[in-house]
Amino acid sequence: MAYVNSVFNTNFLEYASYVIKDRAIPHIDDGLKPVQRRILHSLFEMDDGKFHKVANVVGHCMRYHPHGDASIYSALVVLANKDLFIDKQGNFGNIYTGDEASASRYIECRINALARQLLHKPEITQYDDSYDGRNREPVVFPAKIPLVLIQGAEGIAVGMSTRVLPHNFIEVLQAMVAALQNEALTLHPDFPTGGLADVSDYQDGLGKVLVRARLDTSDPKRIVIRELPFGSTTESLIASIENAARKNKIKIAGINDFTTEHVEIEVKLARGITTEDTIDSLFAFTDCENSISVNLLVIKDNTPVIMSVSEVVRYHAQRLVAILTAELELERGKLLDRLHARTLEQIFVEERIYQRIEEQTTHQAVFEAVYKGFEPFRSQIKRKITDEDIERLLKIPIRRISLYDINKARQEMKEIRQRLGEIKAHLADIEGYAVGFLESVIEGQTENHPRRTEITSFEKVDAREAAQRNLTLRYDAATGYLGYGVLSGKTLFDVSIYDRVIVMRRSGAYSVINVPEKLFVDKGMLVCGHADKETLAGRVFTVLYKNAKGVYLKRCRIEGYILDKGYRVVPDGSEPLKVTTKKDVDAVLKYKPLSKYKVLEERFPVGDYLIKSVKAAGVRLTNKEVKSAIFESATASSGASENNGRGAAAAKAGKAAGKTTTAGKPAGGTKSARKPAGKKPGKKSGGSA
């Protein structure tokens, strides 16, 4: 068993490492995933200035990529649609509509000059064996710019993922210039689909971005979408609008897509609805507004690392210095080789050293004659003369010797020495040379890479606040069903699908739930109302309930709850009689007409009772048998009998004493209890506390 666990652990770690490093996560040095790097390498190898069928490029790339042609084709289309390093010919799909590209046999592509300038330098590129050992492929390209920021990247690996937003080509190079000059730098995303972006929480590439479509609201009866938010297509955006309309989140009369080279989606509004009423709903309930979380994860030093945008720019600024230094050193080496060869050739021809070999009979003698011929000119030669140098001189045709132009040779050597001086100056001020290189690229590419996304500031629209209460909530007491999908019964109030309601059932159980379409709640529902925090916190529930000991009154607020969790508003073993949320009301108790009861009705102003916790017990009003318990408006008590006043006074006395109060026998006479309202009250009755 231990062996099996070891095998599984080893294989899983190897697989996870492979997926992270060799498939899903881009490398910081060139910003490419392996399949993208292999595609560009194939295009460099095939480059002859002409277009190649994508099918041929895919076939060539199969030499390096072990995962089949489908992944190569799809990756090539995505890479070509970045409009950076690959020239396209044919239908490569549409990033606005989401339409797919034509088959690989119908479309063509080629590498462009910018890629050769910024990526391609085989002499300083490290190569490794391909998967089958038959070919060599680059480990990373010597990229002079941070492609991972310019192109962006998305990938899911084992236990980690990356999402890097694309940035403007020119702005990234300007940020590199700022980094080389030790100045502050700030970069914001720029999306190929345009739109608006709020980058207040971008956090230098470690936060999130809010993106919006650009809307034309000049016509009050229609909205035209001119630019898309990043991550959406016209197809997905239209689908989200239609879905919101089906759910009554927005009201539209129709939607038309006129997108060709530019986005144009027309949203016709319903009668009586204006653009001002609809804009917030579009942002809240459709893909017209999205929040994009960023995770700048890259492979650096053979390890996945999370970096900020500024760190990536500064890393590439120093990497550019290293690459330009290597290129200058390489060029200087080649120039020195050329200068050495041209110097030997000049002396060999002008001083007629070749005449020394005319009478030599052996190969060794020829070499020695040439060596001796150069002895007087050692001061002009900066390097040691080798057999390879002599061999090259001896291969010069007689025609070249006869046509040898001394002035032309001297001019060429002068130019070589001049270039060597320039290289020396560049190496002495390599950072200034790097800045000059970047500025030359910026000057040549500014027109090709305008900013497309407008950076602005806006708040994310809260879906609950933007939702219109256009659904009618009904309760059918006959069936016990509640919801906006219930077609019969009592109409309660208007709701939106984002509302929450509190439902109190006949048993005294209550819960806060999302607005239901159709839900069985009980055939004797006591309360149903809005349950947003402000409304619920400001609402006081007054409950009349009874148990074996009597009838109680309880006032409470429901301030905290867990959605869909059941609670009780009355103690266990108690039965609720009536519930109200009105303030200026009296609790009216009517007793069963028994011979021992002289008072058959009492009134208790609910405002005289304290508001307590929902878990607290109520105040006992009576222990008599109750015929009915209702709430009446307090204004109805203006002509109440003496008994009503006596009940309230007894309740107040009980509250003041901290005890429950029960209306007892009258102190004297029974006539006062029977007097009609508006008559002069009789003697006061006593009460037991």
In this predicted model, what pLDDT tens digit does every residue of 86-135 receive, in sequence order? Answer: 999 999 999 999 999 999 999 999 999 999 999 999 999 999 999 999 99
Structure tokens at 667: 């102190």
Question: What per-residue confidence (pLDDT) applies to 463?
Answer: 65
From-to residues of CATH 3.30.1360.40 in the chain: 196-306
From-to residues of CATH 1.10.268.10 in the chain: 310-448
Question: What per-residue confidence (pLDDT) applies to 277?
Answer: 78
Three-state secondary-structure class, residue 374: helix
- Give 23: exposed, middle or buried? Use CB within 10 Å, 0-12, 13-18, 19+: middle
Q: What digits encode the pLDDT tens for the residues 186-228?
A: 999 999 999 999 999 999 999 999 999 999 999 888 999 999 9
From-to residues of CATH 3.90.199.10 in the chain: 20-143
Q: Give me the mean pLDDT over the 569-577 stretch.
A: 92
Beta carbons of 194 and 214 less than 8 angstroms apart: yes
Task: Say whether 106 is catalytic.
Answer: yes
> pTM, whole model, 2 decimals?
0.74
Q: What digits encode the pLDDT tens for the residues 25-41?
A: 999 999 999 999 999 99
Catalytic residue among 15, 18, 106, 127: 106
Q: May I ask the CATH architecture of the domain 20-143?
A: Alpha-Beta Complex (3.90)
Residue 392's H or E segment, with its range, is helix 387-394
Helix axis angle for 169-180 and 430-445, nearest 10°, is 160
What CA–CA distances, in Å, run from 479 to 453, 471, 474, 522, 576? 55, 20, 12, 8, 21
Question: What per-residue confidence (pLDDT) applies to 97?
Answer: 93
Pairing of strands 196-198, 454-456: parallel
CATH number of this structure's domain 196-306, picked from the four choices 3.90.1640.20, 3.30.1360.40, 3.90.930.12, 1.10.1740.10: 3.30.1360.40
What span, in angstroms and rounded, lies between the C-alpha atoms of 311 and 563? 44
Residue type, 359: E
Q: Where are the alpha helices (DSSP H) in 193-308?
A: 234-246, 275-285
What span, in angstroms and rounded, lies between the C-alpha atoms of 672 and 599? 9
Three-state secondary-structure class, residue 302: coil
What span, in angstroms and rounded, lies between the C-alpha atoms of 202 and 310? 12
pLDDT(662) > 70:
no
Classify domain 310-448 at the CATH topology level: Topoisomerase; domain 3 (1.10.268)
